[in-house]
A = this chain, B = another copy of it.
Amino acid sequence: MKKTGAELTGVKEIARRANVSIGTVDRVIHNRKGVSDETRQKIKLIIEELDFQPNKMASLLASRKILNFAVLIPAVSTETDYWSYPLNGIKQAATEIKQFGVTVKSYFYDLDSVESFKLSAEEMLKHEPHAVLIAPSFVEESITLAQKIQELDIPLAFINSDLPNQNNLTYIGPDLYQSGRLAAQLINFTIQQNDKVLAINISSDLKNDHHLLRKEHGFKKFFEDAGKPTEILTLNINETKVAAVEKALMEMLGNQPEIKAIFVTNSRVNIIAEILKKRKRDDILLIGYDFLKKNINYLVSGQITFLICQRPKEQGYLGIMALYKHLFKISEVEKSVYMPIDIITKENYQFYNS
């Protein structure tokens, strides 16, 4: 249970072999200046020979580093508890790395308010974080922020959605196109000849919500590739109130009685479920996104058949851990990490832990 403490190891042994002090060895290990080329080379050689790996714990202990991570994500709203899941993952990671002197502070913004994003971002930067994790919901403002962060030369991780060319350390989140394809595949199993399929985008600002469009694209592409004549209709609803959605939906269903399956491109699938339930349209298969309490309720009651999920908790967890692994040089961090695309049904939701 104890290490054998016979011969020297680590910096001491290197120092002994190189005939220098451990201070000099330390300088070489961390590529600090103030060492002659000659000694530097000699020490580097010995380090290689010994395949020396500094003891992280000793290093952390001696350096007394304190690292503050900042997180900028949407607040949990009354409308959706989606963001509670990434937040839980972030908290879990925070607990695990607390012992290494890392603190994680979260800043929140309102998904309906660009202004709140800017304010929270500003507040966050004021605290001079050593690493930042953000969910870049507002594209333009997020790019501005990402550039500020880059100027400060601190690592940046994106979760939930990506922004191209932002020099971010990593992106952890879904592949939207492919999740749309998967939804199509699931629907394709159940429909008959001549059935029609409806894709619904519910968003107050669809033009900027390229998310939904990428899912819709994957969805339609699947049927194209399948070479089936299934007719895919699309309904864009730019209001989120039930009454407005109901009007648009019922009009569509009235005109197209052959619709037998509906794909909602985001977590607002519960609105459609509510309407279908009220209208007693149990004949329509419904599929949508995200492990929200409201959605799960309709899954259990049978109104929703499939939910597609992208491990929101894990996104938060992995985002923080990526920053940690990078700053503590524990391992290389991948530029993009695409989450598995999970299928949740009435029969497996109880074991889905995020």
- Identify the A interface with B (CB < 8 A): 1-3, 5, 55-58, 60-61, 64-67, 95-96, 99-101, 130, 175, 178-179, 181-182, 184-186, 189-190, 222, 305, 330-331, 338-343, 345-348, 350-353
Contact = CB atoms under 8 A, between A and B. Distances in A.
Contacts of A352: 340
A103 to B, nearest CB: 11
Given A101-B3, A351-B339, A57 B61 contact: yes
B189 A305 contact: yes
Contacts of A60: 57
A181 B347 contact: yes
A67 B2 CA distance: 9
Given A61-B55, A66-B3, A67-B1, A182 B345 contact: yes
Number of copies: 2
B348 A343 contact: yes
Which of A2, A57, A338 is the most central at the interface, judged by chain B CB atoms within 10 Å of its CB?
A57
Nearest to A305: B189
A248 B92 CA distance: 51
B342 A56 contact: no
Given A175-B351, A351-B338, A66 B2 contact: yes
Nearest to A338: B351
Contact of A348 (B67, B100, B340): B340
Nearest to A308: B348
A139 B155 CA distance: 50
A60 B3 CA distance: 12
A88 to B, nearest CB: 15
A61 B58 contact: yes
Nearest to A352: B340
B348 A178 contact: yes
29 contacts: A1-B130, A2-B64, A3-B66, A3-B101, A56-B99, A57-B57, A57-B60, A57-B61, A57-B100, A61-B61, A95-B331, A178-B348, A178-B350, A179-B348, A181-B347, A182-B345, A182-B348, A185-B345, A185-B347, A189-B189, A189-B190, A339-B351, A340-B348, A340-B352, A342-B342, A342-B348, A343-B343, A343-B345, A343-B348
Contacts of A348: 178-179, 182, 340-343
Nearest to A100: B57
